[in-house]
Structure 1
Amino acid sequence: MDAKETEAMLRGQVAIWQNLFGFADSMALKCAVELGIADIIHSHGRPITLDQIPASINGSSSPDISSLARIMRLLVRRDIFAAHQPSDSGDTLYELTHSSRWLVKESEYNLAPMVTMENHPDLLAPWHYFGQCIKDGGMPFKKAHGMEVWEMASKNPQFNTLFNDAMACTNKIILQAIVAAYQDGFRSIGSLVDVGGGIGEAVAQIVKANPNIRGINFDLPHVVATAPAYPGVEHINGSMFESIPAADAVFMKWVLHDWGDEDCVKILKNCRKAIPEKLGKLIIIESVLQQEGNGLFDDIAYIFDLLMFAHATELEWKNLLAASGFPRYNIIKIPTIPSIIEAFPK
């Protein structure tokens, strides 16, 4: 091999090693969240030494400082935390970065619950079944646990809390981006039904920012039964496979990726029936994979595609919408993982 080929092969080897040990970043991040390191630094209001961290860790009787130093060393290299040597050559000081500020649990917007959930053994187990699913079909979570994630959540209160906390933290972040980016789109709507809206947090936030909208939260009876009252929001129970309450627009956030194409067409056709012929519209919040995308969240969208085990490129969305009576659509990129897919019956 010539020098150029040798260099390329060496870089290829490095890429394999980096991907092979990709889990190390995730595990170090999980450790930081479990120990509350971002919260500890934040509570001091200034950079602190390594020795100051264990003193604030709950239940820490004999902390291993050398192990903590190794975790922090990697997280500093990944820019999760920052470290600097003071001018008086004292102990290294650690501080928050723009990344670790997203791990401070008392912040209104934080991703700590998502880090905890996605690194839980029950959520990691399905990733080991990808090869089997490709060979035999089926869904990884069910192969790993013998049940769907929703069933596990209904049977296991601890898992349910873990799951709900993670969904709540991501919902806040995503909805903030949606409400800010889609102001003009919401302004023209008199009524909005959130299909699969859970306990109604999403539609409530949209209505709060857009008082012109009459909100409808639509989900299964046992879900709606626990929904609190929100100003301007009506809770209606039912099945999206049977019918959807009438409204000017239908809103669906991370619903369709749970279903195959045939079921998606059934849901979307019911959405089509629920909205007016001329001025109605469908607002879908889902990841849209961009083959040549180089935006901030485009690479993460591919990881989420595996996470959801969904395979929806823009072309597939176009075909799915057309088959359901929505020949016209726009894709609006927003500063978060999913995009807004705005579809129209005419």
Structure 2
Amino acid sequence: METKEAQALLEGQAEIWQHLFGFADSMALKCAVELRIADIINSHGGPITLCQIAAGIDNSPSLDIPYLARIMRSLVRKKILTAHNPSDGGDTLYGLTPASKWLLHDAELSLVPMVLMENHPWQLAPWHYLSQCVKEGGIAFKKAHGCEMWDFASKNPEFNKIFNDAMACSAKIVMGVVLEEYKNGFDCLGSLVDVGGGTGGMIAEIVKAHPHIKGTNFDLPHVVATAPIRKGVSHVGGNMFESIPTADAIFMKWVLHDWSDEHCIKILKNCRKAISEKIGKVIIVDIVLEKDNNDLFDETRMVFDLLMMAHTSGGKERTELEWKKLLEEGGFPSYKIIKIPTMPSIIEAYPL
């Protein structure tokens, strides 16, 4: 019995060590992105040596090869990269994996902007205030920076760009799946407003796939001010807590999880006022937490809930029951959830 308990305690210690240094994996990932390691390997069309990788790193006359080797060892260990030792005793060759292909800067689908944004000191600082928020309430981001994230972005053009780039890259990934899995959902619509649409990438993709739709990208004035001209899309600045442009339907991706229930109900009530009675609906692309769901993204969905604590003004991820209550109070008594092969689901909500 003692041996079993000792083994369990040892395993518990090992597990805590792993969690304790979980940040190191994220930092190694950020390092790989900043050095463009995946891009350098990709540009050679196949596995290459450490010296070839070093030669491809720009503006590094005094590059430290042993440091680079240790970063590479960590990335290989985590299966971000592959390492192959030739039988002739030559130098180790490093190659890409399906994971590292998401770290290519110029790829059509890339997580590079998200890696850079979530690991930026501005975004890491609020995590240190979670225990303080538990004890006394409040907003972690505000405790770290003196204002909420949206205000911080409006005053800080560099952060605004980092944030918008990250949102655009995640939108592109998710929208590819949404357009594939929800083709018929847009067919009956003549007009669609993307609430919190950032610089308009999502609504542009929807309009491109469904040219009959008149698209409106709606976000805060400082956000749409940096939005490029997009075919078939009008950019409108405003505040979703005050009013939302009218349309047949409202689209919201990863918007409601940023806000408290009270805020979400206010947004939903404004959506209700904005849509037509007959074919009106709200299309929500957001996470639905499920108990004992062990798909590829389940662990990350739970992390996203903590992310909402760190970065948003009372936001959280919700279970289906929590979504149901929210929708009813916001004026949408009926809904259906459409599961798609990515992190969020599609929630289609109706006023009737």
Query: Which TM-score bucket, shorter chain as reference?
Result: over 0.9
1:189-220, Cα deviation, whole Å (9 max, x unpaired): 22211122233221111010112322122234
Confirm or deny: 8 A CA contact 1:199 1:224 kept in the other structure. yes
Aligned to 2:339: 333
State the shift of 1:222 in Å: 4.4
Q: Given the alignment of the two structures, is residue 34 of structure 1 paired with residue 29 of structure 2, yes or no? A: no
Equivalent residue of 1:108, what SS?
coil
Change (3 A) 1:199 1:34: closer
2:196 matched to which residue of 1? 196
Give the 5 Å matches for 1:24-63: 24-63=24-63
Partner of 2:254: 254
Residues 278 and 345 in structure 1, CA contact (< 8 A), matched pair in contact too: no
Q: Give per-residue Cα distances to partners, 1:40-95, cap 9 Å, x unaligned.
A: 11111121111221111112122222221111111101110000111212111100
Checking the alignment, whether the CA contact within 8 Å between 2:164 and 2:199 is kept in structure 1 is no
Partner amino acid for 1:194? D
Task: Give the AA of the match of 1:317.
Answer: W
Cα distance in 2 for partners of 1:79, 1:94 equals 11
Structure 2 CA distance for aligned equivalents of residues 301 and 229 of structure 1:
33
User: Is residue 77 from structure 1 mapped to residue 77 from structure 2 by the alignment?
Assistant: yes
For the structure 1 residues 228 and 24, does the alpha-carbon distance in structure 2 shift closer, same or farther, using more than 3 Å as the test? Answer: closer
CA shift for structure 1 position 237:
3.8
Compared CA separation, residues 49 and 158, structure 1 to 2 (3 A): same
Which digits, 9 at most, give the CA deviation of each residue in 1:221-260, with x for residues without a partner? 4444444433322333433223322222111112222322
Does the residue aligned with 1:241 lie in a helix, a strand or coil?
Answer: coil
Gaps of 5+ in 1: none
Give the drift of 1:292: 1.4
TM-score (normalizing by structure 1) = 0.94
Alignment partners' CA distance in 2, 1:321 and 1:288: 13
Q: Supply the AA of the counterpart residue of 1:328.
A: S
- Return the offset for 1:280: 1.7
State whether residues 287 and 305 of structure 1, in contact with CA within 8 Å, keep that contact through their aligned partners in structure 2. no
Bigger mean CA deviation after superposition, 26-35 or 221-230: 221-230
**Matched letter for residue 170 of structure 2:** T
Q: Distance in 1 between matches of 2:337 and 2:14?
A: 37
Task: Quote how far apart the aligned CAs of 1:284 are.
Answer: 0.9
Answer with 154-163 or 175-184: which moved more: 154-163
Conserved? CA contact 1:297–1:335, under 8 Å: no
Q: How many residues align?
A: 346
The structure-2 alpha-carbon separation of the partners of 1:221 and 1:119, relative to structure 1 and needing over 3 Å to count, comes to closer
Corresponding letter in the other structure for 1:109: L
Moved more, 168-177 or 26-35: 168-177
Whichever residue aligns with residue 174 of structure 2, its letter is I
Whole-angstrom CA distance in 1 between matches of 2:285 and 2:229: 24
In structure 2, C-alpha distance between the alignment counterparts of 1:92 and 1:127, rounded to whole Å: 38
1:126 Cα offset (Å)? 0.5
Greater RCO (Cα-Cα under 8 Å, separation 6 or more): 2
Alignment of 1:1-346 (within 5 A): 1-309=1-309, 310-311=315-316, 312-346=318-352
Q: Distance in 2 between matches of 1:94 and 1:239?
A: 49
Task: State the one-letter code of the partner of 1:118.
Answer: E
3-state SS of paired residue (1:109)? coil
Q: 1:6-59 CA deviation, whole Å, 9 max, x = no partner?
A: 332222221111101101101111111111111111111121111221111112
Identity of aligned residues (%): 65
Identify the residue that residue 312 of structure 2 maps to in structure 1.
none
Shift of 1:306: 1.2
Structure 2 unmatched ranges of 5 or more:
310-314
Contact 1:224 1:237 in 2 (8 A): yes
CA distance in 2: counterparts of 1:285 and 1:105, whole angstroms: 25
Residues 89, 77 of structure 1: alpha-carbon distance in 2 compared, 3 angstrom cutoff:
same
Q: Quick one: structure 1 residues 264 and 6, their matched pair in 2 at CA, closer, same or farther if it must change by over 3 Å?
A: same
Q: Which amino acid aligns with 1:230?
A: R
Counterpart Cα distance in 2 of 1:181 and 1:45:
33
